[in-house]
């Protein structure tokens, strides 16, 4: 279908000028005309329409219903409203559950991959749990996406600086989610940086420079939220602790990932961990080189574990402040932490 539609578009609208060479290339070019150009254009317009819908309704609501805005910005009134059941979760409980699941995954890796209590596995367990697009990443994506949605809802229930803080945090969590699910930095390097600038700039790998700038841009929104509005949520001790832990953990993960290609950092660190911590028992598939296996010690096992803990901290931060906010206005004379 796509080839036929592309052929008709090329013939009737582009006057046969859509670039293609050879019979096979022509079919592929006609398919790409619909699959890439036309479909991607429609999806961009669709996404823009949904965003415009949200912004238009927000403008309409503020213009035509100011009393509801004033009432919803009142903390006492907002706290008395019905909240989604998910906000009944305790942030510390969620964090401990994630830590427990991560600990069980590590125990499994130790038993099956390092001690090798069983030879029934055809692939190393670390590859099945911590490799790209595996359960560790799925869990992280879930935590990030849920955290972003809950941040947006919490921002709507609050007012002033706390509302602005969680709005920006929700936006930042979405950016982290998209980065982790799509790995755009690799595409950006492969398609633009490497062909245009080469492999090195002033002796520094181009990938390291590109990754550093890329991660800095993604981090700029959460960091701005922390610096500009972080004090507004400082009174809640659990929120404060999870916020600082989450930012610190993601700063560590981002810094390591950005510098992973600098002097083969990940390969060297992975080799050190395998030698001194794993007693040289780190397994890898036969199709994988030793250097690549040492690279994945850091890139898969260590980095994915760090990022999962960071995502759990940021979700716990949102949940803990929701608890603090609700209890504060229901019990104004009590001590709330």
The band of 329, judged by pLDDT with boundaries at 50, 70 and 90, is low
The band of 36, judged by pLDDT with boundaries at 50, 70 and 90, is confident
Three-class DSSP labels, the chain: CHHHHHHHHHHHCCCCCCCCCCHHHHHHHHHHHHHHHHHHHHHHHHHHHHHHHHHHHHHHHHHHCHHHHHHHCCHHHHHHCCCCHHHHCCHHHHHHHHHHHHHHHHHHHHHHHHHCCCCCCCCCHHHHHHCCCCHHHHHHHHHHHHHHHHHHHHHHHCCHHHHHHHHHHHHHHHHHHHHHHHCHHHHHHHHHHHHHHCCEECCEEHHHHHHHHHHHHHHHHHHHHHHHHHHHHCCCHHHHHHHHHHHHHHHHHHHHHHCCCHHHHHHHHHHHHHHHCCCCCCCCCCCCCHHHHHHHHHHHHHHHHHHHHHHHHHHHHHHHHHHHHHHHHHCCCCCCC
Tell me the mean pLDDT in the region 288-304: 95
Tell me the mean pLDDT in the region 262-290: 93
> In this predicted structure, which of 75-79, 246-250, 322-326 has the lowest mean pLDDT?
75-79
Q: How far is the C-alpha of 219 from the C-alpha of 255, rounded, in Å?
A: 11
Query: Phi and psi for 198 in degrees, rounded to 5?
Result: 85, -170
Question: Residue 286 pLDDT > 50, yes or no?
Answer: yes
Q: Can you name the residues that pair with 200 across neighbouring β-strands?
A: 205
Contact 96, 89 (CB under 8 A): no
Tell me the mean pLDDT in the region 267-283: 95
How many residues make up the chain in this entry? 337
Tell me the mean pLDDT in the region 251-275: 94
> In this predicted structure, which of 155-169, 173-187, 293-307, 313-327 has the lowest mean pLDDT?
173-187
The band of 75, judged by pLDDT with boundaries at 50, 70 and 90, is very low
Q: Residue 188's closest CA among 212, 214, 216? A: 214
Tens digit of each residue's pLDDT (9 = 90 or more) over 145-198: 999 999 999 998 888 999 999 999 999 999 999 999 887 888 888 888 878 788
The pLDDT score that the predictor gives to residue 335 is 47
The band of 76, judged by pLDDT with boundaries at 50, 70 and 90, is very low
Question: Residue 333 pLDDT > 60, yes or no?
Answer: no
The pLDDT score that the predictor gives to residue 82 is 76
Question: Residue 38 pLDDT > 70, yes or no?
Answer: yes
Tens digit of each residue's pLDDT (9 = 90 or more) over 77-132: 444 457 888 999 999 999 999 999 999 999 999 999 999 887 777 789 999 999 98
The pLDDT score that the predictor gives to residue 81 is 58
Tell me the mean pLDDT in the region 296-310: 96
Tell me the mean pLDDT in the region 233-239: 93
Q: Residue 173's closest CA among 237, 238, 243? A: 243
Question: Residue 143 pLDDT > 60, yes or no?
Answer: yes
Q: How far is the C-alpha of 250 from the C-alpha of 247, rounded, in Å?
A: 5
> 200-201 and 204-205 as β-strands: parallel, antiparallel, unpaired?
antiparallel
The pLDDT score that the predictor gives to residue 79 is 45
The overall average pLDDT reported for the chain is 87
Tell me the mean pLDDT in the region 8-32: 76
Who wins on pLDDT, 204 or 226? 226
Contact 227, 165 (CB under 8 A): no
Domain ranges of the chain: 1-64, 83-330
> In this predicted structure, which of 5-9, 87-91, 153-157, 244-248 has the lowest mean pLDDT?
5-9
Q: How far is the C-alpha of 162 from the C-alpha of 225, rounded, in Å?
A: 10
């Amino acid at each position: 279908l796509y080839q036929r539609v592309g052929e008709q578009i090329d013939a009737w609208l582009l006057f046969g000028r859509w670039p293609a060479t050879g019979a096979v290339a022509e079919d592929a070019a006609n398919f790409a005309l619909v699959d890439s150009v036309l479909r991607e254009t429609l999806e961009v317009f669709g996404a823009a329409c949904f965003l415009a819908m949200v912004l238009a309704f927000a403008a309409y609501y503020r213009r035509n219903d100011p009393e509801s805005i004033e009432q919803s910005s009142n903390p006492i009134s907002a706290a008395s409203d019905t909240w989604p059941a998910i906000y009944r979760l305790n942030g510390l409980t969620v964090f401990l559950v994630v830590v427990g699941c991560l600990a069980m995954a590590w125990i499994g890796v130790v038993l099956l991959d390092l001690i090798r209590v069983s030879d029934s596995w055809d692939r190393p367990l670390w590859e099945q749990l911590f490799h790209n697009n595996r359960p560790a990443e799925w869990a992280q994506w879930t935590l990030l996406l849920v955290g972003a949605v809950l941040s947006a809802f919490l921002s709507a229930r609050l007012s002033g600086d706390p509302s602005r803080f969680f709005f920006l945090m929700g936006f930042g969590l979405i950016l982290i989610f998209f980065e982790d699910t799509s790995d755009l930095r690799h595409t950006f390097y492969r398609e633009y940086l490497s062909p245009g600038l080469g492999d090195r700039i002033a002796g520094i790998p181009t990938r390291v420079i590109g990754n550093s700038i890329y991660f800095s841009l993604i981090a700029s929104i959460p960091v701005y939220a922390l610096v500009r509005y972080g004090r507004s949520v400082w009174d809640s001790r659990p929120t404060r602790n999870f916020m600082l832990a989450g930012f610190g953990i993601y700063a560590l993960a981002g810094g390591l990932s950005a510098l992973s290609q600098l002097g083969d950092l990940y390969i060297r660190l992975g080799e050190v961990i395998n030698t001194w911590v794993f007693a040289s028992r780190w397994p890898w598939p036969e199709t994988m080189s030793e250097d690549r296996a040492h690279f994945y010690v850091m890139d898969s096992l260590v980095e994915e574990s760090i990022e999962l803990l960071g995502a759990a901290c940021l979700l716990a931060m949102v949940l803990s402040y929701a608890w603090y906010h609700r209890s504060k206005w229901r019990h104004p004379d009590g001590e709330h932490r």
